[in-house]
Structure 1
Amino acid sequence: MSVTRDDVAYIAGLARLRFSDDEMATMTTELNSILHYVEKLNEIDTDGVEPLSSIHDQANVLRDDAEGDTVSTELALQNAPDRQDRFFKVPKVLG
């Protein structure tokens, strides 16, 4: 597969990019180079290789969701500069 100058112009139009003639030639060459490199992946024998969703073999690295000690409302609001009933009172930020 190779990319033509028209392909690059079409893709540039979709991305709302403008290229000069020199840039268009450079982009065509670079995209063809990238595609040539990716085509090399087709030469690799992948029979018997399982697909991966991650390179790490860890299934879940999060801690267990365990109940622990909680802070009481009074203790949490003890150092609050302003409060209303059992809530922190903060200045209004949206109109």
Structure 2
Amino acid sequence: MRSRYTAYTLNDEAYLRATWDERTCPHERITDGGGTKWLGLEVKKHTAQEKEAMVEFVARYKIGGKAHRLHEKSRFVKFDGKWFYVDGIYE
């Protein structure tokens, strides 16, 4: 989860795609090319089983000088020893 947040801060489209479950990865561009200024990540809760995990977090960011926050419960699945983002529920 933290590595994906870092990828967003660096606009690392390739890393985000490599860590996204191919069944749910969008075809359109994921990052915005630098228009978002990421301010911080707070992991609120996480649970993990052998093949599935959930991470609840709040990410703070600015777009055009206006502050925003993203509160999400993300689902991850494990394939071949690696975790992949599936989807999330926004609070």
TM-score normalised to the size of structure 2? 0.21
Q: Indicate the structure with greater helix content.
A: 1
Answer 1 or 2: which has greater strand percent: 2
Which structure is richer in relative contact order (CA contacts within 8 A, separation 6 or more)? 2
